[in-house]
Amino acid sequence: MATTVLKIGGMSCQGCVKSVTQVLQDLPGVARADVSLEANCATVEFDDAKLTRDELARAVIDAGFEAS
């Protein structure tokens, strides 16, 4: 397992937090995703044999948010 922090942009409410959390948790290999509106970031624990950090960011971007 690996842990990474993604900077998330475009979130303005708890609904956005829920959306980003769901997008990340729906990815195969994600064990946990903690998204913070206040810090504009997501801490993600994932299986790095199944996913890359770039794939996590791409999923967030595809959902309409910014990720880096």
Domains of the chain: 2-67 (3.30.70.100)
Strand order across the 41-46 sheet: 30-36, 41-46, 2-9, 66-67
Name the residue among 58, 48, 64 with its Cα closest to residue 10: 64
Name the pairing type of β-strands 66-67 and 30-36: unpaired
User: pLDDT digits over 22-61, tens only?
Assistant: 999 999 999 999 999 999 999 999 999 999 999 999 999 9
Average pLDDT over residues 58-67: 97
Q: Give the pLDDT band of residue 20 (cuts 50, 70, 90).
A: very high
Whole-number Å distance between alpha carbons of 61 and 46: 18
Give pTM, 2 decimals: 0.93
